[in-house]
């Protein structure tokens, strides 16, 4: 049999085999023996020497013969030495297999081998492909990588962190689906959150994401969540994170990205009620209809009321809404136009050029959008005004009788897991993170009650998590003390978790209802207010009227 057709030479560099040994760079996939490719199996069984990290050897132990084969193991941090040993053994005339998890050519050992190969090489080399972590995790999540995607390692051991952030930002701007490798180690805790915040600057908070730990191995964990919820999550080096693009959808426990054969919708989450919102795939130039207007970003009912009042003052308003529900409850006023276009920072940068002012009336806890709007306005020279609901609690409240203030959802879940039936009154964006932390703390899922906005995707996500349908209320607030008290009494609630959204957000009604039931009220600590924020809508409107009209430039002069 000629070298070009012998099974051993399949995949070799297209040159004549040289005398000496043979080096197989063997990919063994995610850790399930059933997923080890046949060529990899054959290479392992034929080898005289096996070089590997000991964990990988445990996965393929049934294929090895320690009585005949020399097994060389080196610690996880000695990848370069493993490559050197494999080259030395092959150069000495031995049939050698260098083993790697996943695909040996992706974030793995093959590159190290080729760096050190002598030229000319006195032995033959083959690279045997395998199932990558990206492919393995994607298969467990559904089909999130159906269209263009990128992979990004968050390990800065061999790559400057500045490069990682630079690449993350460009991946997000391109709206690519993305697979994050080496997500979080004991020594590298904060990097993943910096990358997630970069993603949030260009992707929607509700972008569908997946988290997989120990894919196809013992203790496997798989779940679908959102980009914003990942900020409250904890990971490790056994975890892979898959971030979707803006077309990625959730279907039951799965996530998938459409291939696009039947033409993607331009923006599947764009509002449908009221004035039609732009339906372009990406913002390229702001509509002249929106130039010279006051942009109001409203995540609260009082924010929408403020938009209508500003229009009543004679100022044209563009009201930015994030969902179809937001559009359906938006004020119907001839001076108010709705905008529900792309939510990324670059799209907003284009849309806000030429704006008279930006009024940020988003929720007091919505720090990501507030930080983004402040930075954009400073960069564009657009006046920024913030309306912030007054808090009900002091800025640094001590724990009071029947009330505790905690820093995050993990702390809330830890406390709630010991307190009987719990009512989560913080909204749908917190549900995934709270549910995960609550169960991890030993809480029982059937004891969690939630109140969510009546949006099909929001309700579907709650049910997919495992929240019992009988424990889900689909209502739009705020709610009175009497309503809260009646509902919680009927559900036997002993713990209530909420945010300090002020009286307008129904906080005082929750507090009084919890007190009447002698229930423990857990409050997530409120972020520090934005300097110079208005608490009085009328004062903000007066300040707005005093602003000069912007000098419009270029294509916006006709607006």
Residue 442 CB burial class (10 angstroms; 0-12, 13-18, ≥19): exposed
- For residue range 122-172, what is the model confidence (pLDDT) as tens digits? 999 999 999 999 999 999 999 999 999 999 999 988 788 999 999 999 999
Contact 465, 479 (CB under 8 A): no
Name the strands in the sheet holding 142-143, side by side, starting at the edge strand that comes first in the sequence: 142-143, 254-256, 249-251
Contact 144, 256 (CB under 8 A): yes
**Torsion, CA 409, CA 411, CA 415, CA 417, rounded to 10:** 60
Name the strands in the sheet holding 384-386, side by side, starting at the edge strand that comes first in the sequence: 336-339, 317-320, 294-298, 357-361, 384-386
Q: Assess whether pLDDT exceeds 70 at residue 271.
A: no
What's residue 272's pLDDT? Answer: 32
CA-CA-CA-CA torsion sign (441, 445, 447, 453): positive
Across the chain, what does the average pLDDT equal? 84
- For residue range 361-392, what is the model confidence (pLDDT) as tens digits? 988 888 888 988 999 999 999 999 999 888 88
Minimal CA–CA distance to 500: which of 400, 421, 420, 355? Answer: 400
Q: Quote the percentage of the chain above a pLDDT of 70.
A: 84
Q: Assess whether pLDDT exceeds 80 at residue 77.
A: no
Q: Assess whether pLDDT exceeds 90 at residue 221.
A: yes
What's residue 427's pLDDT? Answer: 80
350 against 373, higher pLDDT: 373
- For residue range 391-434, what is the model confidence (pLDDT) as tens digits? 888 765 555 667 889 988 889 999 898 778 999 998 887 888 88
Name the strands in the sheet holding 95-100, side by side, starting at the edge strand that comes first in the sequence: 70-73, 49-52, 95-100, 22-27, 124-128
Confidence category of residue 21, pLDDT binned at 50, 70, 90: very high
CA-angle at 377, arms to 375 and 380, nearest 5°: 110
Instruction: Give the lowest-confidence range in 81-90, 197-206, 241-250.
Output: 197-206
- For residue range 467-491, what is the model confidence (pLDDT) as tens digits? 999 999 988 877 899 999 999 999 9
């Amino acid at each position: 049999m000629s070298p070009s057709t012998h099974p051993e030479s399949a995949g070799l560099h297209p040159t004549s085999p040289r005398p000496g040994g043979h080096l197989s760079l063997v990919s063994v996939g995610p850790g399930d023996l059933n997923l080890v490719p046949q060529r990899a199996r054959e290479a392992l069984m034929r080898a005289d020497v096996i070089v590997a990290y000991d964990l990988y050897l445990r996965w393929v132990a049934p294929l090895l013969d320690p009585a005949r084969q020399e097994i060389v193991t080196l610690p996880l941090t000695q990848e370069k030495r493993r490559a050197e040993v494999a080259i030395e053994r092959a150069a000495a005339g031995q049939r050698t297999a260098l083993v790697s998890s996943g695909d040996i050519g992706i974030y793995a050992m093959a590159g190290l081998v080729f760096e050190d190969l002598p030229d000319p090489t006195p032995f033959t080399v083959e690279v045997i492909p395998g199932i990558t972590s990206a492919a393995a995790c994607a298969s467990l999540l559904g089909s999130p990588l159906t269209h263009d995607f990128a992979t990004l390692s968050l390990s800065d051991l061999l790559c400057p962190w500045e490069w990682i952030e630079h690449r993350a930002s460009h991946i997000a701007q391109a709206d690519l689906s993305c697979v994050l490798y080496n997500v979080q180690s004991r020594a590298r805790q904060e990097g993943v959150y910096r990358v997630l915040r970069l993603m949030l600057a260009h992707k929607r908070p509700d972008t569908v994401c997946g988290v997989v730990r120990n894919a196809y191995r013992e203790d496997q964990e798989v779940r679908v969540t959102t980009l914003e919820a990942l900020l409250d999550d904890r990971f490790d080096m056994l975890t892979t994170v898959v971030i979707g693009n803006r077309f990625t959808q959730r279907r039951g426990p799965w996530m998938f990205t459409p291939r696009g054969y039947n033409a993607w919708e331009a923006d599947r989450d764009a509002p449908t009620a009221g004035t039609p919102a732009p339906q372009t795939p990406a913002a390229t130039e702001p509509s002249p209809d929106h130039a010279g207007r006051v942009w109001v970003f409203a995540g609260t009912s009082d924010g929408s009321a403020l938009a209508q009042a500003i229009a009543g003052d004679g100022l044209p308003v563009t009201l930015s809404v994030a969902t179809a529900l937001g559009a359906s409850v938006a004020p119907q006023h001839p001076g108010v136009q709705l905008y529900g276009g792309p939510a990324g920072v670059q799209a907003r940068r284009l849309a806000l050029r030429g704006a008279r002012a930006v009024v940020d009336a988003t929720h007091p806890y919505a720090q990501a959008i507030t930080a983004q709007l402040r930075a954009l306005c400073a960069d564009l020279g657009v006046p920024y005004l913030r309306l912030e609901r007054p808090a009900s609690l002091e800025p640094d409240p001590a724990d009071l009788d029947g009330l505790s203030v905690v820093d995050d959802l993990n702390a809330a879940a830890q406390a709630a897991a010991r307190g009987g039936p719990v009512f989560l009154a913080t909204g749908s964006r917190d549900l995934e993170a709270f549910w995960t932390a609550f169960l991890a703390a030993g809480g029982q899922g059937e004891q969690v009650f939630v109140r969510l906005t009546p949006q099909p995707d929001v309700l579907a996500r709650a049910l997919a998590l495992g929240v019992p349908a009988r424990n889900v209320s689909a209502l739009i607030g705020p709610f009175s003390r009497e309503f809260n008290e009646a509902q919680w009494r009927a559900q036997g609630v002993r713990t209530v978790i909420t945010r300090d959204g002020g009286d307008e957000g129904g906080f005082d009604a929750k507090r009084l209802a919890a007190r009447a039931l002698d229930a423990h009220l857990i409050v997530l600590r409120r972020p520090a207010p934005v300097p110079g924020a208005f608490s009085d809508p009328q004062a903000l409107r007066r300040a707005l009227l005093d602003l000069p009209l912007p000098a419009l430039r270029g294509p916006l002069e006709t607006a």
